[in-house]
Structure 1
Amino acid sequence: MRYILFLLFFSLSLSAQKVYKTPSGAKYHLGSCRMVENVSSEITLKEAAELGLEPCKICKPQNYTALGFVQSTNTAQGQKETTQCKGTTKKGTRCKHMTSIANGYCFQHNPDK
């Protein structure tokens, strides 16, 4: 029983850990990081996960994916990884570019542009 309470307390304390987000940044930082300025706002790791922020590579704060928070991705729904482009080249062969665009075409063969 003590072990379960300890784990519960430990996970709650980590999820409430305070990190800092710069106004224009896409990463979150520790308070001691040189990238944090007076204009940075304090947020929790859970809020960082909801905003889709990545951990800073300089100060290396706790990664929220290790805590089980869901990381939002900027890929189209149903698109998990890159696939080979569906387009054909001028020679008539299949394009060799890889794409993560939802329609399956690379930037050169995208019919939506």
Structure 2
Amino acid sequence: MKLLVKRNLAVITAFLMVVGTFITGDIKVSAAGGDTTVYLTKTGEKYHSDGCSSLSKSKIATTLQDAVDKGYEACKKCKPPKLDSTSQAAALQANAVAAPAKTTATTTTSTAASNGDTVVYTTKTGTKYHADGCRSLGKSKIQTTLQSAVDKGYEACKVCKPPKLATASTAQAPQTNAANGVVEALKTYKGNTDEFNAYAYYTNNVDLQTAIGADGDKLLKHYNEYGKAEGRVAK
């Protein structure tokens, strides 16, 4: 009886050792360092192991660390390695050390975003605007300004997270557009003649822009009373 028990214990122990070996092996395979090569696709949001069926149309090599930093997740089909805890800790520590530089960069981006002439990119068919380098720009890349993109109804890409237009710029844009519209209307002012053009008189006489503004009647009156005698440009 005792001999039978000992044999059973030996069998169970051996079985547990084999299982433990497989489990340990799985852990080592499923976790890897940040420099491990994985693969991305042009449009997907997952990273893959070499040979995955999802790589049939596009295959972009990168490192595991880079893929994780950019927000890619592991493919559920090919089950590529995940970043080990050591690499994750190192990345967090590196980000913490670089925090002051990152703050400066964020401030710079914010300052640029407050000005509508910040360069962003759109695509032929999309409804988002993107930062340079976004993977959504793989098929088409149209350069424009942040102000123009917002005015046309484009929204910020959620993947690359380009700068957004600051509130001050958003409020300023309609005012600027309205002012430009009033000035443009001077081109068709009813009092325009071969001798006098309200638009030309306004744009060529900077002092009148502040003193009178884009008012055709007042500009014409000023020209007849003073500008003609002063030899001001009026056409």
TM-score range, shorter chain: 0.3 to 0.5
Larger gyration radius, structure 1 or structure 2 = 2
More helix by share: 2
Q: Highest relative contact order (Cα 8 Å, sep 6+), 1 or 2?
A: 1
Please report the TM-score for the alignment, with normalisation by the length of structure 2: 0.23
